[in-house]
Chain A
Amino acid sequence: MPKLTFSSILLAGALLAPAGVFAQATPIGDAEAGAQVYQRECASCHQIGEGALHRIGPHLNRIFDRRAGSYEEFRYSEALSRQGRDGLRWDLARLHAYIENPRALVSGTRMAYRGLRDEKRRADLIAYIRAYSDQPQNIPEASPTALRAEVELSEETLAIEGDAEFGAFLSAECTTCHQRSGDHAGIPGIVGWPQEDFVVAMHAYKQELRPHAVMQSVAQRLDEEEIAALAAYFENLGN
């Protein structure tokens, strides 16, 4: 199995890359420390390295830049498959978002993992996983290893108390497609979601972490007050 440490990847990049690009390079994390995080957090469900097989979760070789839910022989949740079809690819930003809080990125994921909030440990872990992926670009700023954004929400954003009456007005845009009754077929239901899940999911669309052209367009122009208002409205709808 290829034993590439992050620093050796970076060194190779230094030799090939123009100085200007390299000057901005920041390492993903400490892959050696990440190996320990992997053993503790991931290894009971996911294999990685030579001869790795799908177990409870799919193996993680070559995950970088792979379309989500794309191993035909593995049975994913419908939610993850859907996002894969919508265009979700595992680049650095999305791996960060998914590992931090799986349900924030993919609401209906079957991965029963509480999430890893510690940013440094997460970065180390991803640096470790990265070593088992193809290395089309060894410059961390190039896609798929560039870290543009993650669902970064301040305490203040999460603390906004949603104005449910305003949310009721705004909800008309949602209920043209998402049924108020909570019934769903073809388009997921959104009634009764916990407010925080709703807020995080909408910001993930707004930041284009979650794929889907319609939802990105909808979320784009909602500000944080409006997202909070919708979350407050939909949480209690039907109760």
Chain B
Amino acid sequence: MKLDRRAFLGTATAATATLAAPAVMGSARPHVVVIGGGSGGATAARYIASGAEGAIDVTLIEPSRMYYTCYFSNLYMGGFWDFDNLGHDYGNVALLGVNIIHDWAIGVDRDAKTVTLASGPSLSYDKLVVAPGIDFVDDAVPGWDVSKQSLMPHAYKSGTQAQLLKHQIENMREGGTYCMVAPPNPYRCPPGPYERISMVAHVLSERNPTAKILIVDPKENFSKQGLFEEGWARHYPGMVERIGPDFGGDRVEVRPDDMEVIIDGQTQNVDVCNVIPAQKAGKIAELAGLTNDAGWAPVMPADMRSRMDEDVFVLGDASHQGAMPKSGFSANSQATVVANVIRGELTGSRIFPARYSNTCWSLIATNDGVKVGAAYEPGEDQIESVSSFISQTGEDAELRRQTYEESIGWYNGIVDDIFG
């Protein structure tokens, strides 16, 4: 087995030489490949590499040289955060001993235990971590597909889409309508769409106070609903209208070329339209045969191990694990558990029982921050919440300011943990 692997790596050497990826060559050290350099993948890669101190070769495959966090991209739209401060490069991750390949993973052969890159070569692995984030479900909103994302941005993967949507909002005609088509459950960052509404309302109330905000929502309820609705009524009275499923919020289509939204058969002209479609695991998870009928990758609650393959782990938004929300915090938390398990299985280091946690902060208006969070543990079939907390309506302004400052502290903390 070992000989086979060495032989294979030998043949791979020539192909990968141009990628300069190669601490694996001729080495008997075990090799971990991580697909996806976001909050889950980058955390896993660095924790495995730094913890193993050279005993494991770790390769991270990520197409982007600069990672723009989705979290805090709403604050950027609201004018509370600089775009440049959303971006993080992989320099420090590489310094910790992670081989980084900027390319797309386009296939996984789980029998041969190899990952194929878009540029041609394959990499072999002993353990594979799949952390590709989300993709959008085709035809989730009739009339919309990614070819229309310039006319109707999703802005749900940060980066240039966030810049585009911010530009459209700031340049909307006076008294115009911003419309959000909100996603059905489950989706990345449960409070995200509603924090975005808050940030859009903040911008419009300063620049374009007669503008309107329309949310077309297929869900009965949404995360932190009481807190958001209280905040909208207080800070942006009369600006935000939400159409839930009882009034056709679940029967919507769009005509991007005409800037029309059709809600339950009624045509509405809008000026900016932010379509956040239904979501599923990033495509490579599906190509690797790791997903279920709903499009998510089921995992074991104890260690995020794929239910399809014991040498594969799926992290973060792409995974179907139970009670944890899809968030950067969750992915980071799950990644440290996976890193501990993979190191243990490959080098014999100690494996500790998993514990997971998550907190989501949201900004409603200047200095008006709220949070929701929970602690999680593996249950029999899925990850379960063991305790939780949420900000309360009617809290005083000082506490809300402190919660906002805490969120900035958290942002600096988590990006330092991942990229620092």
Contact = CB atoms under 8 A, between A and B. Distances in A.
A186 B406 CA distance: 5
A179 interface: yes
B350 A165 contact: yes
A184 B409 CA distance: 7
Name the residue in B352, B398, B405, B414 with the highest tally of chain A Cβ atoms < 10 Å from its Cβ: B352
A172 B330 CA distance: 12
Contacts of B59: none
A214 B352 contact: no
Contacts of A71: none
Contacts of A214: 359, 371, 373, 389
A177 B408 contact: no
Given A85-B398, A165-B350, A172 B416 contact: no
Contact of B387 (A180, A183, A217): A217
A172 B377 contact: no
B19 interface: no
Given A172-B336, A221-B377, A177 B402 contact: no
A179 B416 contact: yes
Contact of A187 (B377, B387, B409): B409
Contacts of B417: 172, 175-176, 179-180
A7 interface: no
Nearest to B386: A221
B402 A82 contact: yes
B131 to A, nearest CB: 16
B410 A177 contact: yes
A178 B402 CA distance: 16
A217 B350 CA distance: 26
B398 A220 contact: no
Contacts of A220: 375, 387
B10 interface: no
Nearest to A84: B398
Interface in B384-420: 386-390, 396, 398-399, 402, 405-410, 412-414, 416-417, 420
B413 A187 contact: yes
Given A173-B357, A176-B332, A179-B413, A217 B406 contact: no
Given A175-B417, A183-B416, A218-B375, A169 B408 contact: no
A186 B329 contact: no
Residues of A contacting B: mostly: helix
Nearest to B417: A175
Nearest to A165: B350
Contacts of B355: 170, 173, 221
A180 B416 contact: yes
Contacts of A221: 355, 375, 377, 386-387
A186 to B, nearest CB: 3
A179 B412 contact: yes
A166 interface: yes
A165 B340 CA distance: 11
Contacts of B407: 186
Contacts of A165: 350
B333 interface: yes
B374 interface: yes
A221 B405 CA distance: 26
Contacts of A177: 359, 406, 409-410, 413-414
Interface in A79-122: 82, 85-87
A236 interface: no
A173 B374 contact: no
Contacts of B402: 82, 85-86
Interface string A179-197: 1110111110000000000
Contact of B405 (A172, A173, A175, A186): A186
B47 interface: yes
Nearest to A87: B399
Contacts of A179: 412-413, 416-417, 420
A12 interface: no
A216 interface: yes
Interface of A: 82, 85-87, 165-166, 169-170, 172-173, 175-181, 183-187, 213-214, 216-218, 220-221
The 5 closest A-B CB pairs, nearest first, are A186-B409, A187-B409, A172-B336, A213-B389, A186-B405
26 contacts: A85-B402, A86-B402, A166-B352, A169-B336, A172-B417, A176-B333, A176-B357, A177-B406, A177-B409, A177-B413, A179-B417, A180-B417, A180-B420, A183-B412, A183-B416, A186-B408, A186-B410, A186-B412, A187-B406, A187-B409, A213-B373, A213-B389, A217-B373, A217-B387, A218-B357, A220-B375
